Structure 1
Amino acid sequence: MTDLKLHRVAVLGAGVMGAQIAAHAANAGLDVLLYDLAAPGADPRAAVRRAIDGLRKLKPEPLALQTLADAIRPCSYDSDLPLLAGCDLVIEAIGERLDWKQSLYERIAPHLGERAILASNTSGLSIATLAAMLPEALRPRFAGLHFFNPPRWLPLVELIGHAGTEPAVLDALESAVTRQLGKSVVRAKDSPGFIANRLGVFALLAAVHHAARFGLAPDEVDALTGAAIGRPRSATFRTLDVVGLDTFAHVVAGQREQLGADPWRGWLRLPDWLDALVAAGQLGDKTGAGCYRRVGRDSQVRDPATGEYCPAAGAVAPEVQALLDLPDTGERLLALRRSAHPQARFLWAVQRDLFHYAAFHLADIAEAARDADFALRWGFGFAEGPFETWQRAGWRRLASALVEDIERGETLAAVPLPAWVTSAEAAEGVHGPAGSLKPGGAAGQGGSTIDGANPAATPKGAPTFVPRRADALAARQLFPERLAGEPRATALDAGRTLALTDATRLWVLPERDARIGILSFTGRAHAIGSGVLDGCLDAIVQAECELDALVLWNEPPFAVGADLKEVLRLADAGEFAALDAYIARFQQVALAIRRARVPVVAAVQGMALGGGCEFALHAAHRVVAFETRIGLVETGVGLIPAGGGCLHFARRAAALAASGADGDAVPFLEPAFDAIARGLPAPNALAARAAGYLTEADDIVFQANEVLHVALARARALAEAGAVARRSLPVAVAGRAGSAALAMNIVNRRDGGFMSAHDARIAQALASALCGGDIDAGTRVDDDWLLAVERARFMELLATPETIARIRHLLATGKPLRN
């Protein structure tokens, strides 16, 4: 099995995790079956139907579109097992009990196809033990496939084989999960907790136990262990509430049971006050109270000493914040270590003990340090993994500090660092041009010392550096995520430069296609100012003369729209003629993209807002990462789209109306009008397609790192097909009658107090631009007319003090102003 293209997937278990895995498979356009035990009564699939309905209510949303719930087929084990015969992949996601899993495997095994892969979503049970429960013929096609919750939003999937797993099955499964589901795969060893939970659970426990050692309250700990040290905003105790204290207690108990010889085993427990919360049923967010609770709009935190809730007001002490603000990672960590302040000592201790634990167990859980760092990035939301932080701090000097703390008995375990940490190979750290370090050593030196580990998988000998994979899957990711210490090319320096300005770069990747140009913007957030406009026009001319096609691509975000700083500067100076010329230039670029003599493909990731969205709309084709926000959001700063966004929707409505009985464009304008007036972008690519920003022909790519690869291939295909920009014929617009129809909604919302007078003015300008201005309904107009109306309405709004105030407020605060 060298390739696996998923078409039908079955998920066994309709609990929260299984249902969400099914939801994401539905997002990806797969045929999805969701199974569970037959419910009593007339409908044996009733429980699964309820689970599917529940997906519509979950936050964050597991479904990209609410209607995708209908794409999941409810099934029961009693009546629907024959359907498994047509599945390419079956994912078991039931409770973490071996007897339950064995019983289920016995039921399903006879129904699986000869090439079907069976995977378990277990979070820590031995894959080898589970494989032994299967028929011998099925074992080569069995592996662990551990998604993280919520599976749509957390990129990590851990892939775990056993001794009998066919290597080609692992390769095929990794390729399918990466490409079709958009996940980031780490291969883990078959050890308790695998990689992410093994390290992530320890990181949480270390913070919990050190909080008690240093006398810090939960809210104080959360102020310290969130963004302050590059971890998620939920930090420690808020994370436990989100996960569920009972769930976390179960995971900790499971690791304690499996890790009988682990030197840290004594710390694999919850403190008494958390155990008491679990016993009382106060489990966190799902029960309304746990480490925290909400009282109205206020957040209260549990006092471990008294058991009472009090206002949550934890904060980082100013003197500790000063240490956290030190720019050098090593100086920052060592300054925390030297400080006598309890918060500083706590911060050093929690990070030091994670370094210690991760180094000691690296050989047990992962092939190389790369896997450990990515697992915590992708599965627990760390800004960087422990080995990256350690390397940034200066590998040797931090190792020396760890050794001193271990010898003084200050660490949670009194075991020495493994020999590879102080080896010559690791002198500068674990990530570099040659790859990432694979630890060596025998048992007791970072090798297998725990119950249930596989000694045969433990590396022997000296540490070595393992390069990144260079297979076909890796080749699709032209700019993969990199670790600290690894060399990294970017859109600013990769490939060969054809033209470079202060704001843009036109370049090619000769090893891929020397005649497909890539145009990238170089400014912050890729805002579109005068320099970008000039660079775009020059690049399009050069592409028409020298290249076969052009791809617009920026490392995320694609583009956030017009450069508001430039707009505000000209407005403050009263240079409205220059502003009008700027908007005219913007429209000139839009038409140049639309009418280019070579195919222009927009490769979009992250965000394409305002003018960035408009540039994408005018391209011949779009390749868009699934989790991309796309929309015309100009009303948030008191303006309307004026780079051809209104033109796009006017033409789209005219085309749809032409196929209708009465030719009325207004019903087709109303959804766009409402979304643009509210400044609401489409939250993902599927929603963008439904909203009219994308067409059915555009490509939606689930693996964001493959967007440029697909765009280059699409550009080549268009060039080979001889694609040319077709002339835009005049279209019939809704005119003043259409504007009046849309204005009825404006009046109702204004009079109901849902929009201000200035919001109403903006909406009326938008209605006019979408409907072609003050002309009769049905009048046929061309692109130049529609762009002129856009620009006129835009400039009218820009002359108002309310719009200038909105722009100034957004630039100053990053938040919209409703005035």
Structure 2
Amino acid sequence: MTQTIHIRKVAVLGAGVMGAQIAAHCINARVPVVLFDLPAKEGSKNGIVTKAVANLKKLSPAPLGDAAEAGLITEANYETDLELLQGCDLVIEAIAERMDWKHDLYKKVTPHLGANTIFASNTSGLSITALSAGFDAELRRRFCGVHFFNPPRYMHLVELIPTADTDGAILDRLETFLTTTLGKGVVRAKDTPNFVANRVGVFSILAVIKEGEKFGLGFDVIDDLTGSKLGRAKSATFRTSDVVGLDTMAHVIKTMQDTLPADKDPFAALYATPPVLATLVANGALGQKSGAGFYKKVGRDILKFDPAKGDYVPGGGKADEIVVRMLKKPAAERFKLLRESSNPQAQFLWSIFRDVWHYVALHLADIADNARDLDFAIRWGFGWNEGPFESWQAAGWKQIADWISEDIAAGKTLCSAPLPAWVSQVDGVHKPEGSYSAAKNAYIGRSKLPVYARQPFKQAVLGENAPDPRTAGNTVFEDESIRLWTAPGADDVLVASFKTKMNTIGPGVISGLHKAVELAEGRYKGVVVWQPTSLSGGPFSAGADLQSMMPAFMAGGPKAIEPEEKKLQDLMLTLRYAQVPVVAAVSGIALGGGTELSVYCAKRVVHFESYMGLVEMGVGLIPGGGGLTYLARRAAEQAQGGDILHFLKTGFQAAAMATVGKSALESRNLGYLLPSDAIVMHAHELLHVAVGQARAMFDAGYRPPMPGQTFPVLGRNGIATIRAQLVNLRDGGFISAYDDEIATRIATVLCGGDVEEGAPADEATLMALERKHFCELLGQGKTQERIMGMLQTGKPVRN
């Protein structure tokens, strides 16, 4: 039997931007980590690392799920602490991209590695084989590349790059760790310059620059064309480059220039550093980190760099409306229109797609095992909704191939090399049986690693015909609002998935969840509330559907809303007191009613990137679906007869300020998750873990809480204490008078109303208070202004 060696502790060598953030993400995943750098010349030997760790708390987006956990990173230096490496199962080198510097460091650290330690380099493009030069056979077996993308917490892609000597079992172990523990999408890359994502992604950027110049388009227009309109990152091409850093981009291009001469890459002529990039870097305009790059912010204005003038000029250029309309057409029609149009923007778009298709066809055999890995690398590493092979196949494989060949013959392409023979021998690269490998001339199926059995619905490519989570499994009940079903291989747990816009909770969802509990109590081990949208970062629930209440409001005013609000509260109590466990599988935003639904479930299984909060203050209301009742009860439970206010303050501040946790850890600090709730790093494992939790709770003899229990509240004394602080904030101009009024109502509910301190209250009493204040606020003109403002602009109005 093969011994399984878990990755329990990690060391990161290099406390620069990437190294420090990789260490931070290990802490997010509850993996102990040691962060090394050179000894400081003055003060503490760990001064360089100490400064890097402190900087983690200031970065945006935040590398840490909870900034207070920065102190969990063990600080170390190469002079006094190398013995710490012995206890690490994985050591990741993440220093500057200099082969000589890396080799010097390796000589220093490798004698201190444990006998089973995996050693990996986070290089973005240097040869892994060349990096391993000088290693003995045993260390070569345990060495590979592991390339994280920046920022490591948020970018899904990690490229895993073996050498010819790397042990396959080591790679499997590392891929398992990266997938389930760190929550990443792993692509195994070949040891070629810049690997897969940067090789294709940077080529794409260079093609955009070249074709943009050819068609006379400004950076702002190009970014408007190549961002969300193409299903790509909103930051598009040049804003993304500014975020990454123009010096970093120039370095990656130089790597291609130095390592990919014309005999290795027919596109080699394109790898000359673009003059505009060279100019900006020479001027110290390195992008976001230096305050200027392709763009520069001056006051509220965003200026763009004009290469002809060598200076910044007003930006804001947009795509032509006729081109925007073309982009909304189905794939085959879209590319035909773009190719045949005389509009320069349309010609530009056709050209950049054609260039990338031409490139990936020529290089698939060299850089990736199969087309699926290449598409995933670009989707996960560069934020494209579709990989290049997916978009080609969607538009018609043969037709696109013919058009590319015609453009090559006409001299319109960036290089004259013909499409490889395999392109005409297949009718598509993605099929149900697998994705095409040009090197093996075969369709390659998905990885059989056991970790992927934890993903009931794996990330799929177009043409794979993977099961659709909206229709898969066995449907038990379905209407326009909700689907109740069982997942394949899990017919003992009922899954409830919403079908409403943003998964809001309206009458149909309320009715459907009551039905789910009723069915589960008779036939299943539990209910899991899980949304298929979680697979693409979509919402768990944006809250109660206020618009569904409008007819009742128009007919009977605020009082007519009270019965509707009670139905929402009754649902929460149904979930809480169900005879089988109800588990909320939360990913993405869970706001207002979405948070309330979660906290009334027996258990929460939460993806790390979950953002929870009671945000009703933003629309001039108080939480009315049991959220304040939950916070009051929870504070009393935590106090255990002690100071309730101490525990209530966090909940009050969160609700009164509409605070949203920016990670599962922050959401837990706000009180919306319990310490016993499970946090999952990979969104595609959420359903698997949630179903497992429901089963385990049922099998352990689950019983719901006893209904009718009372808990002490703070009463009028607590309200007065909170009011004193609110008055100071109001008089100091920190909150408006209307904010003060709403916050006072929140305090009134949380403290149980006008009663003696310590008086017993129950859920029914506090929920009645919630309804009263919710409905009274709904009748206020200022609340109606806030609601209308939010519906019209999506932004809170402060009045």
Q: Distance in 1 between matches of 2:58 and 2:146?
A: 26
TM-score by length of 1: 0.94
- Cα offset, 1:4, TM superposition: 4.7
Which is worse superposed, 277-286 or 255-264? 277-286
Picking from 376, 383, 388, the partner of 2:390 is: 388
Q: Which residue of 1 aligns with 2:253?
A: 252
Q: Distance in 2 between matches of 1:725 and 1:278?
A: 63
Q: Which residue of 1 aligns with 2:152?
A: 151
- Whether the aligned pair in 1 keeps the contact of 2:589 and 2:610 (CA below 8 Å) is yes
- Cα offset, 1:667, TM superposition: 2.6
SS in 2 for 1:137: helix
Q: Which residue of 2 aligns with 1:814?
A: 794
- Cα offset, 1:606, TM superposition: 1.2
- Cα offset, 1:239, TM superposition: 2.2
Q: Which residue of 2 aligns with 1:701?
A: 680
Q: Which amino acid aligns with 1:186?
A: V
Q: Distance in 2 between matches of 1:301 and 1:504?
A: 47
SS in 1 for 2:44: coil
Which is worse superposed, 235-244 or 616-625? 235-244
- Cα offset, 1:316, TM superposition: 1.1
- Cα offset, 1:619, TM superposition: 1.2
Q: Distance in 1 between matches of 2:385 and 2:165?
A: 35
Q: Distance in 2 between matches of 1:525 and 1:233?
A: 20
- Cα offset, 1:352, TM superposition: 0.9
Q: Distance in 1 between matches of 2:675 and 2:240?
A: 40
Q: Distance in 1 between matches of 2:326 and 2:474?
A: 42
- Whether the aligned pair in 1 keeps the contact of 2:201 and 2:378 (CA below 8 Å) is yes
- Cα offset, 1:575, TM superposition: 5.3
SS in 1 for 2:125: coil
Pairing of 1:192-341 with structure 2 (within 5 A): 192-260=193-261, 261=263, 262-325=265-328, 327-341=329-343
| Alignment coverage as a number of residue pairs | 790
- Cα offset, 1:395, TM superposition: 1.4
- Whether the aligned pair in 2 keeps the contact of 1:12 and 1:34 (CA below 8 Å) is yes
1:624 pairs with 2:606: yes
SS in 1 for 2:662: coil
Which is worse superposed, 98-107 or 73-82? 98-107
Map Cα deviations across residues 10-56 of structure 1 (whole Å, 9 max, x no partner).
00011111111011111111111011111113421111111111111
Q: Which amino acid aligns with 2:511?
A: D
Q: Which residue of 2 aligns with 1:657?
A: 639
Q: Which residue of 2 aligns with 1:357?
A: 359
Pairing of 1:687-726 with structure 2 (within 5 A): 687-726=666-705
- Whether the aligned pair in 2 keeps the contact of 1:128 and 1:162 (CA below 8 Å) is yes
Q: Which amino acid aligns with 2:515?
A: D
Q: Which residue of 2 aligns with 1:432?
A: 431
Which is worse superposed, 546-555 or 161-170? 546-555
Pairing of 1:227-626 with structure 2 (within 5 A): 227-260=228-261, 261=263, 262-325=265-328, 327-423=329-425, 426-427=426-427, 429-439=428-438, 458-459=439-440, 463-511=441-489, 513-555=490-532, 556=534, 557-574=539-556, 576=558, 578-626=560-608
Q: Distance in 1 between matches of 2:434 and 2:461?
A: 10
1:136 pairs with 2:131: no
Which is worse superposed, 518-527 or 742-751? 742-751
- Cα offset, 1:2, TM superposition: 6.5
Q: Which residue of 2 aligns with 1:776?
A: 756
Q: Distance in 1 between matches of 2:450 and 2:108?
A: 37
SS in 2 for 1:601: strand
SS in 1 for 2:585: strand
Q: Distance in 1 between matches of 2:469 and 2:739?
A: 39
- Whether the aligned pair in 2 keeps the contact of 1:527 and 1:561 (CA below 8 Å) is yes
Q: Percent identity?
A: 48
Which is worse superposed, 731-740 or 488-497? 488-497
- Distance 1:361-1:812 versus aligned 2 partners, 3 A rule: same
Q: Which residue of 2 aligns with 1:454?
A: none
- Distance 1:578-1:505 versus aligned 2 partners, 3 A rule: farther
Which is worse superposed, 179-188 or 790-799? 790-799
- Cα offset, 1:3, TM superposition: 4.3
- Cα offset, 1:577, TM superposition: 5.1
Map Cα deviations across residues 404-445 of structure 1 (whole Å, 9 max, x no partner).
10110100010111112121xx31x22232222222xxxxxx
- Cα offset, 1:578, TM superposition: 4.5
1:637 pairs with 2:619: yes
Q: Distance in 1 between matches of 2:396 and 2:552?
A: 47
Q: Distance in 2 between matches of 1:177 and 1:709?
A: 18
- Whether the aligned pair in 1 keeps the contact of 2:557 and 2:779 (CA below 8 Å) is no
Q: Which amino acid aligns with 2:109?
A: I
Q: Which amino acid aligns with 2:290?
A: T
- Distance 1:732-1:374 versus aligned 2 partners, 3 A rule: same
Map Cα deviations across residues 693-741 of structure 1 (whole Å, 9 max, x no partner).
1111110011111111111111111111101012152110011221122
Q: Distance in 1 between matches of 2:320 and 2:194?
A: 35
Q: Distance in 2 between matches of 1:2 and 1:266?
A: 50
Contiguous gaps of at least 5 residues in structure 1: 440-457
SS in 1 for 2:336: helix
SS in 1 for 2:609: coil
Q: Distance in 1 between matches of 2:524 and 2:557?
A: 38
Alpha-carbon RMSD across the aligned residues, in angstroms, is: 1.6
- Whether the aligned pair in 1 keeps the contact of 2:254 and 2:273 (CA below 8 Å) is no
Q: Distance in 1 between matches of 2:239 and 2:272?
A: 18
Q: Distance in 1 between matches of 2:629 and 2:718?
A: 15
Map Cα deviations across residues 488-515 of structure 1 (whole Å, 9 max, x no partner).
434431211222233222221352x322
Q: Distance in 2 between matches of 1:206 and 1:680?
A: 43
Q: Which amino acid aligns with 1:535?
A: G
SS in 1 for 2:138: coil
Q: Which amino acid aligns with 1:308?
A: D
- Cα offset, 1:319, TM superposition: 2.9
Q: Which amino acid aligns with 1:554?
A: Q
SS in 1 for 2:297: strand
Q: Distance in 1 between matches of 2:602 and 2:218?
A: 57
Q: Which amino acid aligns with 1:373?
A: D
Q: Distance in 1 between matches of 2:621 and 2:418?
A: 63
- Distance 1:412-1:2 versus aligned 2 partners, 3 A rule: farther
- Whether the aligned pair in 1 keeps the contact of 2:432 and 2:466 (CA below 8 Å) is no
Pairing of 1:738-749 with structure 2 (within 5 A): 738-749=718-729
Q: Which residue of 2 aligns with 1:452?
A: none
Q: Distance in 1 between matches of 2:522 and 2:221?
A: 62
Q: Which amino acid aligns with 1:587?
A: Q
Map Cα deviations across residues 729-787 of structure 1 (whole Å, 9 max, x no partner).
21100112211221223222322333333322221111111111121111011111111
SS in 1 for 2:727: helix
SS in 2 for 1:361: helix
- Cα offset, 1:127, TM superposition: 1.3
Q: Distance in 2 between matches of 1:4 and 1:93?
A: 23
- Whether the aligned pair in 1 keeps the contact of 2:215 and 2:348 (CA below 8 Å) is yes
Which is worse superposed, 129-138 or 745-754? 745-754
- Distance 1:636-1:266 versus aligned 2 partners, 3 A rule: same
Q: Which residue of 2 aligns with 1:758?
A: 738
Q: Which residue of 2 aligns with 1:453?
A: none
Which is worse superposed, 209-218 or 182-191? 209-218
- Cα offset, 1:280, TM superposition: 2.4
SS in 1 for 2:495: strand
TM-score by length of 2: 0.96
- Whether the aligned pair in 2 keeps the contact of 1:436 and 1:465 (CA below 8 Å) is yes
Q: Distance in 2 between matches of 1:585 and 1:285?
A: 49
